[in-house]
Amino acid sequence: MKIALRELRRRPGRFATATVILTLIALLLLFLGGLLDGLIRNSTGAVRAQQGGVVVSSAASQSSFLRSRIDPDLRARVAAAPGVEEVGGLGIVQLGARVPGNGPRDLADVALFGVEIAPRGVPNVPDTGEVWADRILEADGVRVGTELLLGPARSPVVVVGFVEDTNYLGQAGLWGSPATWRSVVAANRPAEIVADGVFQSLVVRGSGSPVDLAAAVDAATGGATLSLTIADTANAIPGVAEQRGTFNQIIGVTVAIAIVVIALFFALLTVERVALYGVLKAIGARSRTIFAGLVVQAIVVTVIASTVATVVVLLLDAAIPPGSIPVTITVPRIVSSVLSLLVAAVAGSAFSLRRVLRVDPASAIGSSS
Amino acid sequence: MTVTDPHAPALRLEGVRKVYPMADGEVVALERADLTVDRGEIVALVGPSGSGKTTLCSIAGGILRASGGTIVVGGDDISGYSPKQLTAFRRRAVGFVFQTVNLVPFLTARENLLVVDEIGARTGAPARARADQLLEELGLADRAKNLPSQLSGGQRQRVAIGRALMNDPTLVLFDEPTSALDSKLGRQVMELIRSEMTARGIAAIVVTHDERITAFADRTVHISDGVLDA
Ligand SMILES: Nc1ncnc2c1ncn2[C@@H]1O[C@H](COP(=O)(O)OP(=O)(O)OP(=O)(O)O)[C@@H](O)[C@H]1O
Ligand SMILES: [Mg+2]
């Protein structure tokens, strides 16, 4: 073990290539993970910001906000379900917003929500004509007091505050009253007008676990509703599961490449060291001791590569202007990426185990060679 | 693990054979070898190339398994040892000095001695004290921090001797320890081997081509075509 560490310290050049390649792989892994987290965050913020345990949509909607309709009658049955304490209606319309000072084609994509229960970060439901905006809109020049003109009808709303992490499918969340939502829908999407008292979804607060609450609501409505926990609602947003699946596959391939790189590199190193290992075995070193040294070297190289990559990614994260690339670097993502690389290091170096076991101590005492 | 008998000879070979199976028949490298080396005795093993000297040393030191016969080192009968037991035996009871210098290139002289402790007992401080003492005796105290590449051939061979003595062995096997050195250096190294072995009561087999080297041994054994002379 000491021998392996000393070799790392005294012959760093030997490990430079592997360290550089692994650093690039670690960088790729962290960046992919950050991109996935950022994309998901940007798609699901509006749902995750809801202050309730369960989101209720109509059964026919297949959990899409946009298709769902809940009339007052159904709402009353939801409110009467056991365990339900509070029910808030929710409606959404996706539009382009003109920001004063920006060019006429330079629209900001927004999702205007009309809510009865204010989301996390919004103190209370704003007055009609006023909205709280997601902070991402600051990048478009939006400030508190800015009047946004929504949609082809240029319905005006005034920004009265900013909230964090409330986007829906990459569109900036705007949070207003149900009346604001209804009037904007009426002006811009006449086909989607819903009657007073009708919402697209309901946010339900109650006692007990959200899973039980969702089941209780669906039972009370006789299957007319589809109720999901906040997390399940977020996952059901179109594209979220697909993005996660695709990225996780790419991440998996990247880890596999890391295993191959480590395996090849340490296999080469082992071949170079056959004579040295022969001598060590002749003087009594166990294969286990020699192999442990190899694994330690693989781990140290991986730790160095991961550390450098983490620092680079954090610097990049700080340098990327908000709203340009949806990269979110989180501690759990860094930890899981580094852990998967460490597993790759052990798995990769394990390919050299057989070669280490095969080294013959008799080779050290040179059979007349 | 067998407790080493302090009165048993350092090495006893009885009817030891080594046969290498080859495509066209087999090569008999060692034929019914009988040899006893007493505690503290230095035996020179002399013979032409290919006569089986390295084979004998490898078997006596437990890095090669004999095809038949009995090998007893310091009272331990290692004839039937498994590879694992042989590894532990080598760590405990024998030292090797190889023909080519086989030091770890990225470790200093002192660290090369300490390798023996690191792969084995891991005693730490006592091992460091022993390494320093050996380096002192071998005249290498001021070279302790040098890498092998910063040492002369004779100095390197002395480091290798120090490494072979680190585990306080019963038997040290020298396979042509002086062949890479000129005759003056070779003599110096032999004198050193002589004095170190005698001072410690450690037995040694010294393989050599050079008849002059045999002057430093208690006894000379000749071998040709795998057969030891009586
Ligand atoms: N691994 C092996 N496979 C087959 N034959 C071998 C092997 N090792 C040694 N031999 C043969 O065994 C015989 C004895 O070899 P050994 O290495 O013991 O000779 P040696 O006396 O040490 O020679 P040298 O003085 O050249 O080192 C030789 O004929 C050699 O060719
Ligand atoms: Mg030989």
Contacts of A252 (CB under 8 A, 6+ apart): none
Q: Which amino acid is at A296?
A: V
**What pLDDT is recorded for position A368?**
37
Q: Is B74 in contact with B90 (CB distance < 8 Å)?
A: no
Contact A282/B115, CB-based, under 8 Å? no
Domain boundaries, chain A: 2-44+240-368, 47-235
Q: Does the beta carbon of B154 sit less than 6 angstroms from any atom of ligand 1?
A: no
Give the closest of A275, A284, A368 to B91, CB-based: A284
Q: Is the CB of B54 under 6 A from ligand 1?
A: yes
- Whether residue B16 contacts residue B227, with contact meaning beta carbons closer than 8 Å, is answered with no
pLDDT score recorded for residue A369: 38
Give DSSP secondary structure letters for B127-159.
HHHHHHHHHHHTT-GGGTT--GGGS-HHHHHHH
Q: How far apart are CA A217 and CA B137, in angstroms?
A: 88
d(CA B7, CA B219): 20
**What's the pLDDT at A289?**
94
B57 lines ligand 1 (CB under 6 A): no
Instruction: Decide if B115 and A280 are in contact by the 8 Å CB cutoff.
Output: yes
| Whether B175 contacts chain A with CB within 8 A | yes
pLDDT at A180 (0 to 100):
96
- In which residue ranges of chain A is pLDDT below 50? 367-369
Chain B: closest CA distance from residue A297 (Å): 15
A11 in B contact zone (CB under 8 Å): yes
Provide the token pair at A70: 């809940």
User: Residue A192 has what pLDDT?
Assistant: 86
Test mutation, B102, B122, B168, B176, chain A, max A CBs within 10 A: B102
Domains and CATH numbers, chain B: 38-63+82-224 (3.40.50.300)
pLDDT, tens digit (0-9, with 9 covering 90-100), for B72-113: 999 999 999 999 999 999 999 999 998 776 899 999 999 999
Predicted local confidence at residue B4, as pLDDT: 60
Are the CB atoms for B119 and B77 separated by under 8 Å?
no
Strand partners, A156: A149
Per residue in A247-287, pLDDT (tens digit) is 999 999 999 999 999 999 999 999 999 999 999 999 999 99
pLDDT (0 to 100) of residue B120: 86
Q: What is the pLDDT along chain B (230 residues), one digit of tens a residue?
A: 445 667 789 999 999 999 998 888 888 999 989 999 999 999 999 999 889 999 999 999 999 999 999 999 999 999 999 999 999 999 999 999 987 768 999 999 999 999 999 998 788 899 999 999 999 988 999 999 999 999 998 899 899 999 999 999 999 999 888 877 788 888 888 888 898 888 889 999 999 887 778 888 999 999 999 999 86
Residue B163 CA to residue A209 CA, distance in Å, equals: 69
Least CB–CB distance from B119: residue in A10, A280, A364: A280
Ligand nearest to the CA of B29: 1
